[in-house]
Amino acid sequence: MRCWPATSILKRGTWPNATALLSQAGLAARAADLKARAARFGKPAYDSAARAACRLAAELDAAGGDVPHAVRQADVFDPAQLQRTLGRHAPDIVMTDVPYGEQTHWRGPSAAAGVSGMVEALSAVLPHDSVIAVTVRGRKVPADRGPRPQASFKIGTRAVALFRTS
């Protein structure tokens, strides 16, 4: 399996959205972008990340193909809107990379509720034992009230907290 095309399919400085990383084509595109950055900036870390994306694409291929997924948009603090958006779908996992204040901010009437409010609202509409994976830039996912994470860890500059609905 050839991981990155001879010419990048991406515009300079862009890459597919995160859900594209759940597909072989998306991982190949990300690898191509990282390979181009490695050549442009001479940084070995980009080359290493490109190889990792290729390994993930190969693992997807070996496991039978792309990961089924769906993207939904709703006010994350509004359980009624979340329920309408989900409809009959009952996700096993929700993954989110929350705003961290550099380019985006929480908005809306419940914005002050932050991560805790988001986890509480999601917990109200997700099936029992669903997982909510919250990622933030920084040392720790701010969960000062409400549900406590079942596990937390770091990946590079990101902190990740895993919550389970009850």
Q: What is the mean pLDDT of each run of 10 residues along the chain (166 residues)?
A: 36 47 84 92 92 90 85 84 88 81 67 85 92 89 84 89 92
Helix (H, G, I), strand (E, B) or coil at 107: coil
User: What's the pLDDT score for residue 160?
Assistant: 93
Q: Using CA atoms, how far apart are residues 33 and 29, in angstroms rounded to an integer?
A: 6
Q: Are 117 and 79 in contact (CB under 8 A)?
A: no
Other Cβ atoms closer than 10 A to 136:
20
Amino acid identity, position 99: P
Residue whose C-alpha is closest to residue 46's, from 34, 30, 28: 34
